[in-house]
Amino acid sequence: WSAQQSKPLHIQLGEWADILLIAPLTANTLAKLTHGLADNLLTNTVLASVCPVLLAPAMNTDMWQQSAVQRNWQMMMADDRYHALPPGSGRLACDRVGTGRMSEPAEIVAHITSLFHTQGHRDLLGKHLLISAGSTREHLDPVRFIGNPATGRMGVALAIAAQHRGATVTLVHGPLSSDVASTIAANIQSIAVTTAAEMEQAMLSHLALADWVIMAAAVADVRPTTTAASKLAKQDLPSQLPLEFVPDIVAQLVHRKASNQKKGQKIVGFAAQTGEIVAPAVAKLQRKQLDAIVANPVDLPNSGFGSTHNEAVILSADGRKVNVAHTSKLLLAHRLYDFLLADASA
């Protein structure tokens, strides 16, 4: 024995770690964690730590589907300390195609980012969130449409952040690029639409169960009064295009909110602006009778449509205001949830 002796390695690692990631998580390690066994450095470190643990299983499909493995998995998920990245489907190490593929690195990094922000707290557990994302398309003919550059990245980030914090999420989205669509977790209910009318129908049909509704979609404001069934030849295109307004989805949501029985329901809007962003957002907040609004610029470098980052000013109906400096859209989503939770606890 020596007073200068360093701590055992598993104690050092357990005290040092802010988050533990086990990726890939094997059936063997899962069983050991379930029963509190500590026969190697990894399992000893888990027991010697108190930080959140993120589990990303990877194994053969038949192994994953075994009742013993599923039972162990459900036991781990009942422990608040453990956070899940369930396996996806794809080609496995055994050259089979099926469920058991480890989550993609980008998904793992996103969940770690969320855990650092929340410290592992599931503060949206029990809440249902209804979120819209992306653009809508209003077709002139099958190949031409009125739309905008929105990619859905902000709305998808909102869905991911909410799911990481324990919420049940329904995501209604317009057309998404493959890189954005691939980040949507399997346990997020995803409803694909194209037009504003389709988005309105989907949002209204899921409104009754939602605690918070977040309209992050960039809905096309107008549509052609008629849509051709087949592609118009260039010479047949009209020199003047008659337009009409699309349904005001936010107005319909607020109207329905007033008549439904969901206590404490909140509706949050987004205001994408060029130039001055706060004054137009305040006007929209008041005009639409929203509970909160996120004003964000779309004319600054590396911000707005298509970007992985953004900055914003979050405003509430009761006058609260938070400035969010340039950050990732995932962290902006978390800042919005912090803002809404602070209002709920006030």
Inter-CA distances, 304 with 90, 101, 202, 279, 309, Å: 33, 33, 25, 18, 7
What is the spatial distance between Cα 28 and Cα 60, in angstroms, rounded to a whole number? 13
**Whether 94 is catalytic:** yes
What is the spatial distance between Cα 104 and Cα 62, in angstroms, rounded to a whole number? 21
Radius of gyration of the chain (CA): 23
What is the spatial distance between Cα 305 and Cα 326, in angstroms, rounded to a whole number? 14
Q: What percent of the chain has pLDDT over 90?
A: 91
The pTM of this model reads 0.93
Which member of 94, 106, 143, 344 is catalytic? 94
What is the spatial distance between Cα 330 and Cα 332, in angstroms, rounded to a whole number? 5
- Report whether pLDDT(219) > 90: yes
With residue 252 as reference, give the H or E element that holds it: helix 249-259
What does DSSP say about strands 309-316 and 292-297: parallel, antiparallel, or unpaired?
antiparallel
The pLDDT score that the predictor gives to residue 345 is 60
**pLDDT, tens digit (0-9, with 9 covering 90-100), for 152-190:** 999 999 999 999 999 999 999 999 988 999 999 888 999
SS3 of residue 94 by DSSP: coil
The domain segmentation of the chain, as residue ranges, is: 9-103, 128-224+242-345
What is the spatial distance between Cα 187 and Cα 164, in angstroms, rounded to a whole number? 11
128-224+242-345 and 9-103 share a CATH fold? yes
Q: Tell me if the bond preceding 24 is cis, omega within 30° of 0.
A: yes
The pLDDT score that the predictor gives to residue 108 is 96
Give the mean pLDDT of 106-115: 96
pLDDT level of residue 316 (50, 70, 90 thresholds): very high
The pLDDT score that the predictor gives to residue 254 is 95
- Report whether pLDDT(2) > 70: no
Superfamily of domain 128-224+242-345 in the CATH hierarchy: CoaB-like (3.40.50.10300)
Give the mean pLDDT of 76-105: 94
The pLDDT score that the predictor gives to residue 306 is 87
Give the mean pLDDT of 189-195: 98
- In contact, 296 and 273? CB cutoff 8 Å: yes
Determine whether domain 9-103 maps to CATH 1.10.940.10: no
Give the mean pLDDT of 270-286: 96
